[in-house]
Amino acid sequence: MDIIERIKSQLSSNPVVLYMKGTPEFPQCGFSAAAVRALSAVGASYAHVNIFEEPELREALKQYSNWPTYPQLYVNGELIGGSDIIIEMYNSGELQKLVSGTK
């Protein structure tokens, strides 16, 4: 399976996907940690992909999403954004509304 097909498969198999540095249990950057805290605070159920384990995917996802940084949050296959956007949405209550319909 080619890398873009694998990304599409991950996104279609899981309603909420966080591409991040590290894991939810051990985030390896402050931005990924902030995204995990926000998702946990709203009770989101999500899949995660540790981009450090897959350098090929890390580079391909930047081109696929046209978003140069991590973490990247996808809901229903659509890029929501990175840490700043996730935190903004959490603070406004939008994040909870967005993920509540995906459980």
* Binding-site residues for [2Fe-2S] cluster: 29
Give the other-Cβ count within 10 Å of 65's Cβ.
16
**What's the CA angle centered on 80, arms 29 and 52, to 5 degrees?**
30
Instruction: Give the chain's end-to-end CA distance (angstroms, integer).
Output: 28
In the structure encoding, which two tokens stand for residue 44, read together? Answer: 């989101």
CA dist 86 → 23, 54, 90 (Å): 17, 23, 6
Annotated binding site: 29
